[in-house]
Structure 1
Amino acid sequence: MIFKGLKKRSNKRHLNKLISERFVNVDDAKVNKLGVILNLNEIDDIELFRGLAAYLKVRPNKLKVIAFSSNGKEKANAWDLCFNPSDFGWNGTVKNVELKSFLDIEFDVLISYYTEELLELKLLTALSKSRFKVGILQTDKRLNDLIIKTDIKEFNVFKEELYKYLTILNKIKNE
Structure 2
Amino acid sequence: MILKGFKEKSIKKYLNKLLSEAHEYEADNKIESLGVIVNVDEIQDFNWFNELANALNIHPNKLKIIAFSTQKKETLNLWDDCYNAKDIGWKGAILNNDLKLFLDTKFDALLSYYEADVTELKLITALSKAKFKIGILQTDERLNDLIINTKLNDFNVFKNEMFKYLTILNKIKNEY
Which stretches in structure 1 are left out of the alignment for 5+ residues?
A: none
8 Å CA contact 1:46–1:78 kept in 2: the answer is: no
Describe how 1:54-73 pairs up with structure 2 within 5 A. Answer: 54-73=54-73
| Alpha-carbon distance in 2 for matches of 1:75, 1:163 | 32
**Offset of residue 69 of structure 1:** 1.1
| Alpha-carbon distance in 2 for matches of 1:126, 1:88 | 13
User: TM-score normalised to the size of structure 1?
Assistant: 0.95
8 Å CA contact 1:70–1:84 kept in 2: the answer is: yes
Q: Percent identity over the alignment?
A: 56
Q: 1:76 to 1:57 in 2, by over 3 A?
A: farther
Which stretches in structure 2 are left out of the alignment for 5+ residues?
A: none
**Offset of residue 75 of structure 1:** 4.4
What SS class does the counterpart of residue 8 from structure 2 fall into?
helix
Residue 44 (structure 2) aligns with: 44
Residue 15 (structure 1) aligns with: 15
What SS class does the counterpart of residue 110 from structure 1 fall into?
strand
Residue 96 (structure 2) aligns with: 96
8 Å CA contact 2:67–2:79 kept in 1: the answer is: no
Quick check: 70-79 or 121-130, which moved more? Answer: 70-79
8 Å CA contact 1:31–1:173 kept in 2: the answer is: no
8 Å CA contact 1:11–1:90 kept in 2: the answer is: yes
| Aligned amino acid, residue 20 of structure 1 | S
Question: Number of residues paired by the alignment?
Answer: 174
Q: 1:4 to 1:38 in 2, by over 3 A?
A: same
For 1:52-91, what per-residue CA distance to the aligned partner results, in whole angstroms no more than 9, with x for missing partners?
A: 0001111111000000111122545544x11011001001
1:27 maps to 2:27: yes
What SS class does the counterpart of residue 153 from structure 2 fall into?
coil
8 Å CA contact 2:36–2:113 kept in 1: the answer is: yes
| Aligned amino acid, residue 30 of structure 2 | K
For 1:115-173, what per-residue CA distance to the aligned partner results, in whole angstroms no more than 9, with x for missing partners?
A: 00000000000000001001001111111001000000101110111111111111114
Describe how 1:77-88 pairs up with structure 2 within 5 A. Answer: 78-79=79-80, 81-88=81-88
| Aligned amino acid, residue 11 of structure 2 | N
User: TM-score normalised to the size of structure 2?
Assistant: 0.94
8 Å CA contact 1:108–1:130 kept in 2: the answer is: yes
Residue 122 (structure 1) aligns with: 122
Describe how 1:86-165 pairs up with structure 2 within 5 A. Answer: 86-165=86-165
